[in-house]
Structure 1
Amino acid sequence: MDKNYIYIEKAQKEEYDALRNIFFKSRQENFNWMEYDNIKLDDFDSSTKGELILTAKISNKIAGFISIWEEDKFIHNLFVSSNFQRCGVGKALISEAVKAVGLPLTLKCVKLNENALNFYLSQGWTIEEEVKEKEPYYLMKYDVINALEK
Structure 2
Amino acid sequence: MSKNDISIQKAQKEDYDELRKIFLKTRQENFNWMEYDSIKLEDFDSSTEGELILTAKIGNDIAGFVSIWEEDKFIHNLFVSSNFKRCGVGKALIDQSVKEVGLPLTLKCVRANVNALNFYLSQGWTIEEEVIENEPYYLMKYEDISVLEK
Q: Shorter chain as normaliser: what TM range?
A: over 0.9
TM-fit CA distance, 1:59:
1.1
What is the alpha-carbon distance in structure 1 between the residues aligned to residue 134 and residue 12 of structure 2?
35
Q: Is the 8 A contact 1:48 1:67 kept in 2?
A: yes
Listed as ranges, the matches of 1:65-80 within 5 Å are 65-80=65-80
Q: Deviations over 1:5-52 (max 9, x none)?
A: 100000000000000000000000000000001000000000000000
What is the alpha-carbon distance in structure 2 between the residues aligned to residue 138 and residue 50 of structure 1?
23
Q: Is the 8 A contact 1:51 1:68 kept in 2?
A: yes
What is the alpha-carbon distance in structure 2 between the residues aligned to residue 46 and residue 58 of structure 1?
26
Q: Which residue of 2 aligns with 1:108?
A: 108
**1:53 paired to 2:26:** no
Listed as ranges, the matches of 1:1-150 within 5 Å are 3-4=1-2, 5-144=5-144
Runs of 4+, deviation exceeding 4 Å: 145-148
Change (3 A) 1:87 1:103: same
When normalised by structure 1's length, the TM-score is 0.95
What is the alpha-carbon distance in structure 2 between the residues aligned to residue 143 and residue 86 of structure 1?
22
Number of corresponding residues: 146
Structure 2 unmatched runs, 5+:
none
Q: Indicate the RMSD between aligned Cα atoms, in angstroms.
A: 1.2
Q: Deviations over 1:41-76 (max 9, x none)?
A: 000000000000000000110000000000000000
Structure 1 unmatched runs, 5+:
none
